Structure 1
Amino acid sequence: MSTDLLSFEVHSIERLALPIEVEGFSLDAPKANTTNAGHSLTIAGWAVGLAPYLVPSIEIMNGETLLKRIPVHVPRPDVAAHLQKEDSVGSTFGFHGFIGTLGLLKNAHLEIVLNLYDPRDQSRRKEKVAVIHGRTRNNILTDSKYQPLMLTAIGRSGTTLVMQVLSEHRQVLTANFYPYEVKQSAYWMHLLKILNDPADFDNSSHPDKFESNLGLIGHNPYNHQESMRQFQTPERFRDYYDNRLPRSLIDFSVRRTDEFYELIAASEKKPDAVYFAEKFLPTHLQSIFNDVYRSPREILLTRDFRDMICSALSFNEKRNRQAFGRERAADDFDWVHRVFSTGARRVVEAWNDRKNSVLHVRYEDLVLDPVGQLQRIFNYLEIDGSNRLMRTIRQRVFNSSSSKHHKTSESPERSIGRWRADMPADLLEYCNAKLSSELKAFGYE
């Protein structure tokens, strides 16, 4: 048998105090101090609401990312007997599912959240009841022609400016046109995650009906423990799904990315390129790149979140349409609460998870000291940072008016601290309270 490409070490299970609306909860799998070989982790147990509350499902959270929602519908007569439930109440208190370990945060804290439902007023709420603490291990690292350069940020952080800078470098490949949103490698890594994850009949492809959907492809419905048990030699099939197939899918995804950027290299006349650069929101994808590529690089770009809010509002007004999540919110306060603060927490989460390997660049420092910050970036990437290159970039990017349609301030310098004049006092007070820890995390007053 081959060496396992992926494994997940479960260090401990932290059980939290149950809310009064929950009669009982138990996490039967995984167990603390165990190593789960392969790319899937079993999540199983039971949960019972205190009448009249019901627990229709649980959620598995990887930081700010919802990994899976698992219905609570597995018969558990043992639980019914233990809680002395009448037969008429039913005994479908169990849950059983699998999550893929590819793309988890290195030091993972998987939160188990109960979805509570009150049939009296049809209200719903979420309660965190346990945390699985562990760490992923992998033997995946793959040879490739180009290495990824991930520019991680949320909207209106200055990502277009940084991508313009990177596009000027002969050793960095980008889809060199505004707004630099072609994310080919992100697509192939996302495909890798979907095709590699264990079967999920409730949320993804079902073995009885997957071929009826001509627009989507989901998890392989036969990558499932019950399917493998049907074979005479199930261990062979487990090795196939845990090692041989993932290896093929990884190679396939990396090759497709290389092919695309070879076209970019020929088009942009950059035969010496070593990186391809793409914009990324802070998601699970960065962890997958770190699992797969040998020498990935990541720049975490931050900007004062209050300035970002002002910039987004101005940009929406300029284009006469709502974007950046504002279209999903009832008002500006709701936007900051439900959408923007989540993005800010994801940025902090990315920094805390990978601060030993990521280069943090602040938009404000880049605008006020472009040469110094560009030198930091190119030193981090170990590529040319000559004075001649610096002069070219300053002329073509920082002194250019070619991207006026993307800007919402008279000058980059005027974009710094604009919240002092542009943000209404009540919204500013709310942002200072709501984003306090995120602002402090990156040194903003």
Structure 2
Amino acid sequence: MISEPLSFNVATIELLSLPEEVEGFSLDAPTANAQYNGHSLPIAGWASGRSPYVVPSIEIMNGETLLKRVPIQVPRPDVADYLKKAPGAGNKFGFHGFIGTLGLHNSTRLDIVLNIYDPRDQSRVKKNVATIRGKKNNSLLTESKYQPLMLTAIGRSGTTLVMQILGEHNKILTSNFYPYEVKQSAYWMHLLKVLNDPADFDNSSHPDKFESNLGLIGHNPYTHQESMRQFKEPDRFYDYYNKKLPRELVKFSVSRIEEFYDLIAASEKRPDAVYFAEKFLPTHLQPMFNDVFTKPKEIILTRDFRDMICSAQSFNEKRNSQAFGRERASDEFDWVHRIFSTGARRVVEAWEDRKYSAIHVRYEDLILEPEAQMKRIFEYLEIDSSTSLIHKIKEKIFNSSGSTHHKTSENPEKSIARWKNEMPKELLEYCNEKLSKELKTFGYE
């Protein structure tokens, strides 16, 4: 037998008070104080809306990340009897699905959220009804020629500046051209996640239909338990899909990343490089790098979220565009609520999950104390942080005019606390209320 590369220990399950729109809810799987071997965790149970409300699906959330939406469509005559439903009323109250455990947070909290629909006015609300807490166990760590250096931030935080700094060090490989958005490792790690996750006929590849889409590939539909049960020796196929194949997919993905950065190292003449650096939004990918690489590093970059809003507004005006999510918002307040508030929570979530292995860098400190912050970063990476090197990088990046394409203020110093002069009072008050926790977490007034 091959040892388990992944498993998940469920510690506790908390059922919350049901909202008035819900008649009943139960979570049958997983169960508390249990270990689930393999790369998937079952989520099963039932839910029923209180008339006239309907509950068509559940959502499984890992913090701010939607892991899966599972339709409520499994026949449950036992639930129909329990709820005393009239004959012919239908008995599809059940849900059953699996989530992949690769890439979950170190200490995982999963929230089960009901999607509730009111047919009278066609309105929809989401209500959290259960919380699962547990911890993943991982033995997929793989040796690699280069280690990832993840720059985690949201838009207008100063990522381009940090990537310029990193790109000047001969131990670090980057795409080395503006705007540093070539994310090869992110692509291969996302591929690893998709190919490794358990079968999902509703949201991903279906065994009868996957050949029809020439542009996409999803989860392997034949990893489904029902498929494996049809073989004469299902245990052999369980071992293959849950133990051997994940390791092979990891080696494949890491090898593709190495090959790409070998090309960068050769073209940039950096044979001694030890890191590759890429920009990342706070997503499921960073925990995956921690699941796979032996010595990953992460810089969590923040900027006063109010300055980011001002910067995004100026950038949109400068380019006559509606970027950074503004095109999806009805007004500035909705923009803050839907885009920046969510992004800020994701950054806080990333920091709280990985603060013991990552370094936090503030844009403001980098602008006002560039040499000290560069030294912090390079010492964290355990690479050359000599005064002469740092001075050379500072002279090249901070004392040159550089590209004006990405800038929205006269000089870097004036990009700090610009919200005090540029943000309307009503919007500022809304930001201070909406982003209070996030501003406080990272030390902003």
* TM-score higher than 0.5: yes
Q: Which secondary structure does the structure 2 equivalent of 1:404 belong to?
A: coil
Residue 139 of structure 1 aligns to which amino acid in structure 2? S
Whole-angstrom CA distance in 2 between matches of 1:288 and 1:142: 12
Taking the TM superposition and a 5 Å limit, the aligned residue runs for 1:15-54 are 15-54=15-54
For 1:375, the equivalent position in structure 2 comes to: 375
Moved runs in structure 1, 4+ residues, more than 4 A? none
Q: Which secondary structure does the structure 2 equivalent of 1:351 belong to?
A: helix
- Render the CA deviation track for 1:123-146: whole Å, top value 9, x for unaligned: 111000000000111000001110
The question of 1:93 aligning with 2:93 is answered yes
For 1:14, the equivalent position in structure 2 comes to: 14
For 2:303, the equivalent position in structure 1 comes to: 303
- Render the CA deviation track for 1:18-63: whole Å, top value 9, x for unaligned: 0011110000000000010010000000001111111100000000
For 1:152, the equivalent position in structure 2 comes to: 152
Taking the TM superposition and a 5 Å limit, the aligned residue runs for 1:151-170 are 151-170=151-170
Offset at residue 119 of structure 1 (A): 1.1
Taking the TM superposition and a 5 Å limit, the aligned residue runs for 1:80-229 are 80-229=80-229
Whole-angstrom CA distance in 1 between matches of 2:400 and 2:292: 37
Whole-angstrom CA distance in 2 between matches of 1:372 and 1:438: 25
Offset at residue 381 of structure 1 (A): 0.1
Offset at residue 86 of structure 1 (A): 0.9
Q: Which secondary structure does the structure 2 equivalent of 1:409 belong to?
A: coil
Residue 396 of structure 1 aligns to which amino acid in structure 2? K
Offset at residue 343 of structure 1 (A): 0.2
Q: Which secondary structure does the structure 1 equivalent of 2:215 belong to?
A: coil
Q: Structure 1: give runs of 5+ residues left out of the alignment.
A: none
Whole-angstrom CA distance in 1 between matches of 2:401 and 2:290: 36
Whole-angstrom CA distance in 2 between matches of 1:329 and 1:151: 27
Whole-angstrom CA distance in 2 between matches of 1:106 and 1:7: 13
- Render the CA deviation track for 1:268-287: whole Å, top value 9, x for unaligned: 11111000000000000000
Whole-angstrom CA distance in 2 between matches of 1:87 and 1:227: 33
Whole-angstrom CA distance in 2 between matches of 1:366 and 1:338: 28
Q: CA RMSD in A?
A: 0.6
Whole-angstrom CA distance in 2 between matches of 1:202 and 1:271: 46
Q: Which secondary structure does the structure 2 equivalent of 1:165 belong to?
A: helix
For 2:289, the equivalent position in structure 1 comes to: 289
For 1:347, the equivalent position in structure 2 comes to: 347
Q: Which secondary structure does the structure 2 equivalent of 1:87 belong to?
A: coil
For 2:265, the equivalent position in structure 1 comes to: 265
For 1:404, the equivalent position in structure 2 comes to: 404
Offset at residue 387 of structure 1 (A): 1.7
Whole-angstrom CA distance in 1 between matches of 2:7 and 2:154: 31
Q: Alignment length, in residue pairs?
A: 445
TM-score by length of 2: 0.99
Whole-angstrom CA distance in 2 between matches of 1:399 and 1:122: 57
Offset at residue 388 of structure 1 (A): 1.7
Residue 212 of structure 1 aligns to which amino acid in structure 2? S
Offset at residue 160 of structure 1 (A): 0.3
- Render the CA deviation track for 1:388-439: whole Å, top value 9, x for unaligned: 2112111111112122111111111110000000111111111011100100
Offset at residue 340 of structure 1 (A): 1.0
For 2:279, the equivalent position in structure 1 comes to: 279
Residue 48 of structure 1 aligns to which amino acid in structure 2? S
For 2:394, the equivalent position in structure 1 comes to: 394
Q: Which secondary structure does the structure 2 equivalent of 1:160 belong to?
A: helix
Offset at residue 87 of structure 1 (A): 1.5
Offset at residue 169 of structure 1 (A): 0.2
For 1:416, the equivalent position in structure 2 comes to: 416
Residue 193 of structure 2 aligns to which amino acid in structure 1? K
Offset at residue 386 of structure 1 (A): 1.2
Whole-angstrom CA distance in 2 between matches of 1:407 and 1:314: 9
For 1:360, the equivalent position in structure 2 comes to: 360
Q: Which secondary structure does the structure 2 equivalent of 1:427 belong to?
A: helix
Q: Which secondary structure does the structure 2 equivalent of 1:317 belong to?
A: helix
For 1:325, the equivalent position in structure 2 comes to: 325
For 1:246, the equivalent position in structure 2 comes to: 246
Q: Which secondary structure does the structure 1 equivalent of 2:433 belong to?
A: helix
Once the two structures are overlaid, the 10-residue window that deviates more, 91-100 or 389-398, is 389-398
Residue 130 of structure 1 aligns to which amino acid in structure 2? A
Q: Structure 2: give runs of 5+ residues left out of the alignment.
A: none
For 1:431, the equivalent position in structure 2 comes to: 431
Whole-angstrom CA distance in 1 between matches of 2:396 and 2:323: 28
